[in-house]
Amino acid sequence: MATANQIQFRLKLAKKTLTTASKVVTATKSRIKKLEAELKKAKAAAAKAKKKKPAAKKKPIARKKPAAKKKPVAKKKPAAKKKPVARKKPAAKKK
C-alpha cells in the first residue's frame, strides 16, 4: 500500500494536470468563440454581396449611319498602248 506522502504527491500532480488542462480548455473555448464570430461576419458579408444590385450596364454608343453608297461608275479602260516602232539603226558612215 502507498504511503500518505506518495498519495499527496500523486494528488498534487493530478491537480497540476487538471489546472493546465482546464487553462487549455478555457483558451480553446475563447478561440472557438472568436472564430465563430468571424465566420458569422463573413457569411453575412457574402450574403450582402449576393443581394447587391449588379452595376448598371453602360448604354452602347450610338453608331453613325453609314454614308449613302455611291452608284458604281464604269471604270474607264486605259488607252491601248502603242507598240514601240522598231527603229532603224543609223548606217555606219564610211570614211
Q: Could you give the C-alpha distances from 75 to 69, 78, 81, in angstroms and in order?
A: 17, 9, 17
Per-residue confidence (pLDDT) for residue 54, from 0 to 100: 62
DSSP codes, 19-82: HHHHHHHHHHHHHHHHHHHHHHHHHHHHHHHHHSPPPPPPPPPPPPPPPPPPPPPPPPPPPPPP
Q: What is the pTM of this model?
A: 0.43
**Where exactly are the structural domains of the chain?**
1-51
Span 39-64, pLDDT tens digits: 999 999 988 887 766 667 777 777 77
